[in-house]
Amino acid sequence: MAPWTLTGLEKGANYAVEGIRLVIQNPNLRKQRFIKVFIYLSIISFILLGLINVLISTPIHILRFILLIFMSDKAGRIEDILSSVNRFIREIMAAVPLLAILFMRYVYPKPLDELFMESLRFLDELHPNRPPYAAVLENQKLKINYWTEMKEYIKRTWKKVRLGLLLFLLSFLPIVGHLVFPLAGAYTSYKALGKTQSVAVGIFFFFLPRWATMKLIRALIGMRSLTRELLEPYFVRMRMSHKEKRRWFSGRKDILFGFSAIAYIMVKTPIFRIIGYGIAQAASAYMLTVVTDPPTKEELENKSSRSPSPSDKKAD
């Protein structure tokens, strides 16, 4: 495992900014086919978000009305609890449009995969003297077991939702409830950054209000998942097993964390969201060319001849 450094964190953030700059400069990404894809996805995401807000807020308003009628003496307490639940559910549901895009990767991955590969082609054109990335990876057929990958994605997402709900409920326990989110933050940062950083994060979270800790934990988990999804076109073509992916991430934790922080801010900013994900997808191609060597035909041929074992398909 490579040591975590502030320099690596800074490099990752710089790679994200430079990647975004190159995406904006790429004339091929302004072609009609890419623009149409993201306009369509943006419309779908807004429709989904509107429907979900209605479906969530209506039952809570009805429940509030009923409880206030029969328990008017506890109106303040009821209002606080329902407002907290409503805010928590809305924050989870705000991620639905992005989750829909990520889910689409396993149902119809071609648009996002082509966006990634187009960025690699552009980078190869900018650096003709180095070994190519896109030309070699394109020779590797994109073989995806859609049903299996889709099930694994649903399992990963459901696992995160269950964990979030469990932490939320445990945080209301007397005596130990205030320790739940700081400990969860320490554990999450341990997986993302390492032991020393996790201790510092846990102590820092202990002094924050619960709502701030919840947001930061969700950000840490989301950043890690986002990086994995953005690099999926590369992992699929490289036929990487679960263990190989973990080793790949482990050797670049600080750089990937810095990159994912910028990407996460983009996809969580309301005016960007889906478009931000598309830009981050394209920018991840630049980051890839900086942190890893170009693949060789021999390497890919060896990968193709290997049949992954069931343990290799374990969800991240």
| Residue 70 lies inside a defined structural domain of this protein | no
Please give the Cα distance from 296 to 299 (Å, whole number).
Answer: 5
Q: Quick one: pLDDT band at residue 283, thresholds 50, 70, 90? A: very high
Strongest mean pLDDT among 66-80, 108-122, 160-174, 193-207? 108-122
Query: Which residues does 293 contact at the CB level (< 8 Å), separation at least 6?
Result: 131
Q: Quick one: pLDDT band at residue 312, thresholds 50, 70, 90? A: very low
| Residue 60 lies inside a defined structural domain of this protein | no
Please give the Cα distance from 187 to 89 (Å, whole number).
Answer: 23
Least confident of 70-74, 114-118, 166-170, 186-190: 70-74
Please give the Cα distance from 281 to 134 (Å, whole number).
Answer: 15
Q: Which amino acid is at 80?
A: D
| Residue 57 lies inside a defined structural domain of this protein | no
Q: Quick one: pLDDT band at residue 97, thresholds 50, 70, 90? A: low
Residue 132: give the domain boundaries: 6-48+96-169+206-313
| Residue 307 lies inside a defined structural domain of this protein | yes
Rounded to two decimals, the pTM is 0.75
| Residue 201 lies inside a defined structural domain of this protein | no
| Residue 183 lies inside a defined structural domain of this protein | no
Q: How many domains does the chain have?
A: 1
| Residue 61 lies inside a defined structural domain of this protein | no
| Residue 75 lies inside a defined structural domain of this protein | no
Residue 31 gets which letter from DSSP?
A: S
- CA torsion sign, 139 to 235 to 264 to 52? positive
Apex 99 CA angle, 46 and 54, nearest 5? 45
Write down how long the chain is.
316
